[in-house]
Structure 1
Amino acid sequence: MNARPSLPLASNLPTFEPGQVWLVGAGAGDPGLLTLLALHALQHADVIVHDALVSDEILALARPQARREFAGKRGGHPSAHQDDITESLIDLARQNLRVVRLKGGDPFVFGRGGEEAAQLAAAGINFRIVPGVTSGLAGLAYAGIPATTRGANRGVILATGHSCAKDEESLDWRQLAQTGLPIILYMAIKRLDVIVGELLDGGADPQTPVAIVEEATTPRQRTLVTTLENCTRDAKTHGCAAPAIIAIGAIVNLREHLQDFLLNAGTQA
């Protein structure tokens, strides 16, 4: 039997020039979710400045000569300062290197890509945005939970549960509860009790379905389905931990009908 030929990268992809910085989304975790443009960037980079959630499997797709520099930010652990990361990107570009800033998910969805792009522009550095598949959508899809579905919702709210900086306004969870729209939370495990309490105070139905998807789109994916009033207790009982995506709303209900036949559904907590 003849081996199946590998697919070459499209010939019309843009040239990665020395002195440029490409802000690249690595997707939700599964290397198969990388875009062709992201793979193209990895295979031409001189240096890759990557986050903590970028897997070894994805980094292995880079050209062997590329230098890897870790710039991860993980809650509760020592992390690189954002200004230092951006200054490093500028310095590397000024060394006439091809620089990939590799981020989990999408650079512009809770990835600080906007901040880095603004500072690169201010420094006169040419850059390219390479969108990635954000975990808030891909992770739920792998778990059999559609972000939108006809008859359930005509919109969705993406929100971070991470505590805001002192100079930023906190989300009004009570007000979000009153929209009736499904809420997809990033980085919310540590503050889940606070968020749930405010949603309930805002009038959210205690029986609203909730799904917590841990390590979404990876072989370790695990999903806990519960309700708003019980999710904090159940998350502790089952040892749910970051990284996790949390979906709150009727969109969770479809998982029950899909999970037995969904090949990438992961395990049930």
Structure 2
Amino acid sequence: MTDLSRLSPAFSPGTVWLVGAGPGDPGLLTVHALNALAQADVVVHDALIGEGILALAREGAVLEYAGKRGGKPSARQDAICERLIALARAGKRVLRLKGGDPFVFGRGGEEALALAQAGIAFRIVPGVSSGLAALAQHGVPATTRDTNHAVILATGHLATDDESVDWGALARAGVPIVLYMAVANLGPIADALIRGGLSPKTPTLVVHGATTARETLLEAPLADLPALAANGAVASPAIVAIGAIAAFRQAIASHLEGFREAVGS
């Protein structure tokens, strides 16, 4: 068997690695992420990092929870940054483990900037983005030549009246939209997209717990999402695809073999 550690750089004491853990299935970790887990002294991890991935940390590594979940008590971002800096200055190999990719709605940029300003050496390890993996897992391409040559990735975490999110403009863009962290605001977002010009019949696909044993799927027209969300039929965390690509699954679903997390979620 190939020694995978030869494919990854050494994790130096006093440094921080900002690592994407992918959507949840340990099999979707990168080699660099796996070797970071094998070398780290401290793993500072998000709420969505499952036990199956944390179990891959080396024996003796300290696991520190730094989860941020909407509507629940969460670690402050500035406190997380300060903790990473303090651990690195103490000479630890610090692994900051984030779901998906650390630079796609993962606040990895904020943490990288804080480390740079503090003079801390760090490495960025990209991960499989949850938004794309959740779709690909079920045979839904983010783009196809027949449907779209662009796709919008957006977060629904912000309040729907926030001026930085113009849902009408996104609706008028004419390309599929993939939403992260949108469950709490899904009803208002769907209404805003319809007011912006999207057809109420626009297909949508909601993937909860992508690539893990708790994964569920929901397919519905856009107009049905507000009622489904209000009735608790849409669980968090979830990725929501809106547009022509959401209907692609039906063409290949019966021939697609599914995968589930082999190690505990």
SS of structure 1 residue aligned to 2:248: helix
SS of structure 2 residue aligned to 1:115: helix
Determine the C-alpha separation between the residues in 1 that align with 2:42 and 2:119.
19
For 2:142, the equivalent position in structure 1 comes to 147
Distance 1:123 1:238, change over 3 A: closer
Q: Is the 8 A contact 1:143 1:265 kept in 2?
A: no
For 2:257, the equivalent position in structure 1 comes to 263
For 1:129, the equivalent position in structure 2 comes to 124
| TM-superposition CA deviations, 1:113-169 (whole Å, max 9, x none) | 000000000000000000000110001111221111120100000000001699x74
Distance 1:265 1:22, change over 3 A: closer
SS of structure 2 residue aligned to 1:176: helix
SS of structure 2 residue aligned to 1:63: coil
Amino acid at match of 1:83: D
Q: What's the offset of the Cα at 1:8?
A: 2.3
Q: Is the 8 A contact 2:188 2:226 kept in 1?
A: no
Amino acid at match of 1:42: L
Determine the C-alpha separation between the residues in 1 that align with 2:163 and 2:138.
32
Q: What's the offset of the Cα at 1:10?
A: 4.8
Q: What's the offset of the Cα at 1:99?
A: 0.2
For 1:115, the equivalent position in structure 2 comes to 110
Q: Is the 8 A contact 1:90 1:123 kept in 2?
A: yes
Is 1:170 paired with 2:164? yes
Determine the C-alpha separation between the residues in 1 that align with 2:199 and 2:208.
24
Is 1:59 paired with 2:54? yes
SS of structure 1 residue aligned to 2:103: coil
Match of 1:30 among 25, 34, 42: 25
| TM-superposition CA deviations, 1:207-240 (whole Å, max 9, x none) | 1100110001112211111111112223445622
For 1:200, the equivalent position in structure 2 comes to 194
Q: What's the offset of the Cα at 1:197?
A: 1.2
For 1:160, the equivalent position in structure 2 comes to 155
Amino acid at match of 1:110: F
For 1:249, the equivalent position in structure 2 comes to 243
SS of structure 2 residue aligned to 1:24: strand
Determine the C-alpha separation between the residues in 2 that align with 1:242 and 1:181.
24
Amino acid at match of 1:61: L
Count of residue pairs the alignment pairs up? 260
Determine the C-alpha separation between the residues in 2 that align with 1:145 and 1:130.
25
Determine the C-alpha separation between the residues in 2 that align with 1:120 and 1:130.
15
Q: Is the 8 A contact 1:213 1:244 kept in 2?
A: yes
Determine the C-alpha separation between the residues in 1 that align with 2:205 and 2:73.
29
For 2:227, the equivalent position in structure 1 comes to 233
Tell me which moved more, 27-36 or 257-266.
257-266
| 1:91-106 equivalent positions in 2, closer than 5 A | 91-106=86-101
| TM-score, normalising length: structure 2 | 0.94
Distance 1:99 1:163, change over 3 A: same
| TM-superposition CA deviations, 1:172-212 (whole Å, max 9, x none) | 00011001110000010110111111111111111110011
Is 1:73 paired with 2:42? no
Amino acid at match of 1:70: Y
